[in-house]
C-alpha cells in the first residue's frame, strides 16, 4: 500500500477494527492460572508468554474486546478414579488455566490442546502448553487461546458439548470466527456475544457469592 493511498480491500479490512474502537471495547475479566503441579519446561512457558498469549490479546483487542488479565497460581490435581480437582480459580473471571496436558476425563483421551467448560460454578478454559500453538492455517488451525476463549465468549460454555456432526460444526464456527479476527480484525459478532457473556459471568459470580462457605 503506497503512502497516502489506501486500496478498497485494505479499507474493508480496517473498517471493522475502526468501528470497534469507536464503540469502545468490551472488557472481559480474565485470570491466568498457572498450574503449580505441571512439569513445564522453561521453553514452553517462555513460548506462551512471548508468543501465544500476546497474539491472543492483540487479536481480541483489534476486534474491540479487551482481556483484562491478572495472574494467579493454582493446582490441577488428578486423583485416580475421580474427576480432576482444580484450585486457584476466581469465580468473577474467565479462568485460563495453564497446564501440561488436559485431564483424560475432560478430553476423552484425545490429547486436545484445550478445553472450555464450567467447573463448580467457575468459568474455565484449560490450555495444554505442550500442545498449544499460534495461528497456523486459516479455518483449520488457529491460536489455541483464541479458540478456547471464543468458546466462552460465544456462549458455548453454557451448553453441553455436542458430538458428531453438531460438534464438528461448532468447532468450525469457532475457527471461522477466529480466522476473521486474525485476518480481517472483524470481531463484530464476537463483541455482541461477549457483552452477553460478561453479564452471565457476573450473574454466575453473584450466585456463587451467596453459597454457604464462600
CATH value at residue 71: 3.40.390
10 lies in some domain? no
Could you give the number of structural domains in the chain? Answer: 1
* pTM of the predicted protein model: 0.88
177 lies in some domain? yes
Range of the domain at 34: 19-207
Angstrom distance (rounded) from CA 175 to CA 143? 9
- Is the backbone of residue 196 left (phi > 0), alpha (psi -120 to 50) or beta? alpha
112 lies in some domain? yes
- Provide, for the chain, the percentages of residues in helix, strand and coil under a 3-state DSSP scheme, each rounded to the nearest 5: 45, 20, 35
9 lies in some domain? no
pLDDT per residue of the chain (214 residues) written in tens, 0 to 9: 443 454 545 445 455 545 544 569 999 999 999 999 999 999 999 999 999 999 999 999 999 999 999 999 999 999 998 999 999 999 999 999 999 999 999 988 888 999 999 999 999 999 999 999 999 999 999 999 999 999 999 999 999 988 899 999 999 999 999 999 999 999 999 999 999 999 999 999 998 777 665 5
44 lies in some domain? yes
158 lies in some domain? yes
190 lies in some domain? yes
123 lies in some domain? yes
Q: Are the beta carbons of 122 and 200 closer than 8 angstroms?
A: no
Amino acid at each position: 500500500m503506497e503512502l497516502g493511498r489506501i486500496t478498497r480491500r485494505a479499507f474493508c479490512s480496517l473498517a471493522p477494527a475502526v468501528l470497534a474502537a469507536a464503540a469502545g471495547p468490551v472488557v472481559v475479566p480474565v485470570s491466568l492460572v498457572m498450574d503449580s503441579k505441571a512439569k513445564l519446561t522453561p521453553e514452553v512457558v517462555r513460548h506462551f508468554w512471548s508468543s501465544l498469549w500476546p497474539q491472543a490479546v492483540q487479536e481480541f483487542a483489534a476486534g474491540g474486546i479487551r482481556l483484562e488479565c491478572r495472574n494467579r497460581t493454582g493446582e490441577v490435581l488428578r486423583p485416580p478414579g475421580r474427576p480432576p480437582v482444580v484450585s486457584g480459580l476466581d469465580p468473577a473471571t474467565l479462568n485460563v488455566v495453564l497446564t501440561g496436558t488436559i485431564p483424560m476425563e475432560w478430553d476423552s483421551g484425545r490429547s486436545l490442546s484445550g478445553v472450555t467448560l464450567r467447573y463448580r460454578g467457575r468459568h474455565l478454559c484449560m490450555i495444554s502448553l505442550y500442545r498449544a500453538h499460534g495461528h497456523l492455517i486459516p479455518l483449520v488451525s488457529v491460536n489455541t487461546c483464541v479458540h478456547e476463549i471464543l468458546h466462552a465468549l460465544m456462549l458455548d460454555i453454557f451448553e453441553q458439548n455436542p458430538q458428531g456432526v453438531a460438534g464438528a460444526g461448532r468447532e468450525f464456527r469457532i475457527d471461522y470466527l477466529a480466522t476473521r479476527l486474525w485476518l480481517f480484525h472483524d470481531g463484530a459478532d464476537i463483541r455482541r456475544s461477549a457483552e452477553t457473556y460478561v453479564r452471565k459471568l457476573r450473574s454466575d459470580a453473584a450466585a456463587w457469592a451467596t453459597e454457604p462457605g464462600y
